[in-house]
Amino acid sequence: MSNQQESNIAISFYNIHNIITRGLRVSLESVQGVLQRGFQGEEGREGFFNFIRALTSVMNAHHLTEDEIVFPYFRDKLPEAPFDSLTYYHHVMVLILDEINLAVNKCSNKDQLETELRNIENDLARLNEDWPFHIQPETDEFINKADALVPVEEQLRLVRLFAEHDLKNAIPLYLTIPFMLYNLPQDDRMVFSQGMPAEVIQNLVPVVWKEKWESMKPFLLA
């Protein structure tokens, strides 16, 4: 069983892409729900905004990890892969993510709330539409090729390096780590957890940070 649970480059990318895919879908459905029915109490409001903050931070961190260490690592090994166009599209997505964060900040102003929620809805709709077309070439052009190119031990080292780089930029960690863990089904979550320090999984997420992230629970998987 322990072998099956070990991560490799392909598994780590499937997981982070699945986290973002679900995060984008749930965020869009949630903003549409809020526009129709309003917030489900103060806790619902806090959870909604925390979930979106976590999503934008995790996406930004993922793009940075790819641009700064993943693509440079694979560039020589896969000279035909479209790294430049993938990086270009990261920049496009970062602009949209910045717009979302700006709109979220303006939502504290009651008079602007509905307009800003509509802006968030439009931005999320666009990201949801574009995202599959961004991760498909990543999957085809380097993720699915990694196993043939990189020895198992080296893959484990890289997976840890990528995870560390993600965590440097995915702030605040008390939101982004629970967001990543609980946007994955349990089996995948177990594998994903192995890339994190035991203290984070056993103490910080379930105890120390709990009050800060538990408002997101209605949007997360059990």
116 contributes a contact to Fe ion by CB under 5 A: no
123 contributes a contact to Fe ion by CB under 5 A: no
| Contacting residues for 100 by C-beta, under 8 A, at least 6 apart | 52, 56, 119, 120, 123, 124
Q: Which of residues 137-156 bind Fe ion (CB under 5 A)?
A: 138
| Cβ–Cβ under 8 Å, residues 138 and 13 | yes
Nearer to Fe ion, 123 or 138 (CB): 138
Nearer to Fe ion, 48 or 131 (CB): 131
Letter for the amino acid at 143?
I
166 contributes a contact to Fe ion by CB under 5 A: no
| CA dist., res. 178 & res. 200, Å (int) | 10
Min dist CB 63 to Fe ion, Å, is 6
Nearer to Fe ion, 90 or 205 (CB): 90
Q: Candidates 63-71, 76-84, 125-133, 196-204 — which segment interacts with Fe ion by CB under 5 A?
A: 63-71
Min dist CB 2 to Fe ion, Å, is 27
Nearer to Fe ion, 53 or 134 (CB): 134
Min dist CB 28 to Fe ion, Å, is 19
* Cα dihedral 183, 45, 173, 98 sign: positive
Phi, psi of 221 (to 5 degrees): -85, 155
Q: Candidates 118-126, 133-141, 154-162, 176-184 — which segment interacts with Fe ion by CB under 5 A?
A: 133-141
| CA dist., res. 150 & res. 181, Å (int) | 26
Nearer to Fe ion, 25 or 212 (CB): 25
| Cβ–Cβ under 8 Å, residues 16 and 55 | no
73: number of Cβ within 10 Å: 20
# residues near Fe ion by CB under 5 A: 2
What's the token pair of residue 6?
Answer: 């070990």
The residues of the shown chain that bind Fe ion, judged by CB under 5 A, are 66, 138
